[in-house]
Structure 1
């Protein structure tokens, strides 16, 4: 199983509990981004690709050309959290302002905090599903000055040390990393000025589809691997699996 860094911690926890009742199975898990997972699936280097985005048209064509049939599973809902240093003087931000910040159109925090300090952006590499998700939701191209980090952990470490920094990570990652959660501030997001700001950690808001940056999490499985992986898929869908998903900071949309 390869792919999304948003899903990798959850996949590891699910696998650990799966082994307890299915010790005759083995499962190797790695991250690297949704694009890497999908490429590994295409090249026969993975049975399951974890992805925080749907397949692109180009990817669908590649699977079709190679006569590879896939099964698609939506197993959880995630919210992308925007994080800043704990000392950051603002608790929320509107979508339009966020777009101007991340695109580089606004290079200082003056419009947000009143302080003319430079904005330092901590983002993901272009093969990341979260990178694509945020870019598409905001309809922007990221600033060329944005730092491209390898995963959630690097972004968290960068923000902890940078009072002018802003980054984005999976909300589930923050909840799973309790020490990290205490070291950063999670911004509440409002779709426009004057509208209620919503936290990605607010389960009720997520279930009501009120958070702007929420999305389904996917698993793509080669049909030829289905019989091999279906015990794990069934475990994810079981009540025990669903409890683990919720406890890890992800959501089950009813």
Structure 2
């Protein structure tokens, strides 16, 4: 249904006036949520059209730099190079933090453990551990399913763990592809947005691992709303929208909708979080 909506919105953009046609591109973590928000925004603002596509945070920011979109959705802040490019090109932007997400690490339903500690996860993702034996006692090879380097989630996990991913890590196109790979691979581990997985976790043959920051500490699930609100989950992060000042008047109605009661309800109902900044 959402993909039908995306196609329809793009068509609507073609015939809408430029000051009512909003183009959004970027984070795959945010794309389903963005579509839900746009669908409901359109119900009360049918003179607008909102075209949404994913492709990763880096692609959204690059599109913003090239003047191709009005909003870049990103699951990470701007890096130093991007910030410099915006300044060099004289593009002033506003930054909106409209939600918070947790990154979930997933394995097959048949995986023998329900949790993993951060030091072990670091050794798995860097390739230091080639098999699961140090963690599960079984000498099955580790298969890592991640994202390309332009993904905000890839960048977030790398920076949070202070690692470079193993060269053997498989680079997937998005959350759905990672989910499908993990369903079929008892030796696989991957990461997706918790908000994404909450849309259909009961229908997926995957297990969401609880995370322990250090051995002996409590294991916390990315689905634990109380822990997220208290900022106790190790892999949680804000979700950004970068907007050039020249587009602000056009998109302000959409941003106001996101921040209003209906938008906030959609955000929380979709498995994301609103945390006071």
- Which interval holds the TM-score relative to the shorter structure? over 0.9
Deviation at 1:179, TM superposition (A): 4.8
From 194, 213, 229, give the equivalent of 2:235.
Answer: 213
TM-score normalised according to structure 2 size: 0.90
Matches within 5 A, 1:11-90: 11-90=34-113
Instruction: State yes or no: 1:183 paired with 2:209.
Output: no
Cα deviation per residue 1:83-128 (whole Å; 9 max; x = unaligned)?
0000000000000000000000000000111100000000000000
User: Could you say which residue in structure 1 is the equivalent of 2:18?
Assistant: none
Cα deviation per residue 1:4-28 (whole Å; 9 max; x = unaligned)?
0000000000001101100000010
Distance 1:8 1:194 in 2: 36
From 154, 157, 172, give the equivalent of 1:131.
Answer: 154
Distance 1:110 1:242 in 2: 44
Distance 1:253 1:173 in 2: 18
Q: Which runs of 5+ in 2 are unaligned?
A: 1-23
User: Could you say which residue in structure 1 is the equivalent of 2:16?
Assistant: none
Partner-residue secondary structure (3-state), 2:190? strand
Cα deviation per residue 1:139-196 (whole Å; 9 max; x = unaligned)?
111000000000000000000000000000000000112455x420000000000000
Matches within 5 A, 1:54-203: 54-180=77-203, 182-203=204-225
Distance 1:250 1:195 in 2: 25
Partner-residue secondary structure (3-state), 2:49? coil
| Divergent runs of 4+, >4 A | none
Distance 1:64 1:79 in 2: 30
TM-score normalised according to structure 1 size: 0.98
CA RMSD of aligned residues (A): 0.7
Q: Which runs of 5+ in 1 are unaligned?
A: none
Larger relative CO (CA 8 A, sep 6+): 1 or 2?
1
Number of matched pairs: 253
Partner-residue secondary structure (3-state), 1:54? coil
Partner-residue secondary structure (3-state), 1:235? helix
Distance 1:183 1:239 in 2: 34
